[in-house]
Amino acid sequence: MKRYQDVALFLLVLAIIAQTLHVIVRAQPADDAMAPAPTVLIGDTVTSLNGYTEDSVLTTVLLDTAPYTATVVYAFHPECAFCDTVAPEWAAHFATGVSRAAPVRRIAVTRELPGPAATYAERFTWNIDLLSVSGFEETSPEAFLVSRTPWVYVFDPDGVLRFHGHGAELERVDHAVAEITSVSAAARRSESTR
């Protein structure tokens, strides 16, 4: 009987030690590598996006340069069922959207590798630049932009985020682009009259 009590006591002590270690590990601060991607809010500036083109070439896309009045970023993922729903609408939007007439840059951004991303875009006949941010740090602006799909972001010529919303909100995208375009046009007129 004494032997069973010793074994039970030993197991109880081991359980207490394991619980204590578990509490200590959980109480320590998270490693920076595990930190979530930074949130990009309306009014925040993102001057550039890094990623890979369809040809797997590492590139930097500047969001704060002329001659574009706005940059629209469409975040998608080929394995997202919601993306499959809006992808045909995006194709039509790329061809006929109100913002199509303005000097607007459009970029489809994904966490997928460049090859599968290009195949997905071809499947829906997208006529748009693609940027793969596969392999980028989770704390980069690029990681935040692809954290929700399908999602759309509108940046003004200074790289300031002016709108973001669900990928099906294409009328709101056109409205945001129209506002940016009218402000840019007014600024150009003002400069030319000086």
Backbone angles phi, psi at 120, to 5 degrees: -65, -45
Same domain? For 10 and 74 the reply is: no
Domain count, the chain: 2
Calculate what percentage of the chain has a pLDDT beyond 90. Answer: 43
User: Residues 86-131: pLDDT tens digits?
Assistant: 999 999 998 876 555 568 889 999 999 999 999 999 999 998 999 9
Contacts within 8 Å (CB) and 24+ apart, 135-138: 136/50, 136/51, 138/33, 138/35, 138/36, 138/37
Which of 16-25, 26-35, 41-50 has maximum average pLDDT?
A: 41-50
User: Residues 57-72: pLDDT tens digits?
Assistant: 999 988 887 667 889 9
User: Residues 141-172: pLDDT tens digits?
Assistant: 787 888 889 999 999 999 999 999 999 999 99
pLDDT at 5: 79
Same domain? For 114 and 23 the reply is: no
Same domain? For 15 and 89 the reply is: no
pLDDT at 7 over 80: no
Say which CATH number the domain at 122 has. Answer: 3.40.30.10
Q: In DSSP terms, which residues pair with 166 in a beta bridge?
A: 151
Same domain? For 75 and 113 the reply is: yes
Return the higher-pLDDT residue of 182 and 44: 44
Same domain? For 94 and 69 the reply is: yes
pLDDT at 29: 44
pLDDT tier, 34 (very low <50, low <70, confident <90, very high otherwise): very low
The tokens of 155 are what?
Answer: 């940046």
Domain hosting 24: range is 2-30
Same domain? For 54 and 97 the reply is: yes
Same domain? For 25 and 51 the reply is: no
Instruction: Quote the pTM value.
Output: 0.74
pLDDT at 76 over 80: yes
The tokens of 116 are what?
Answer: 């599968």
Same domain? For 155 and 61 the reply is: yes
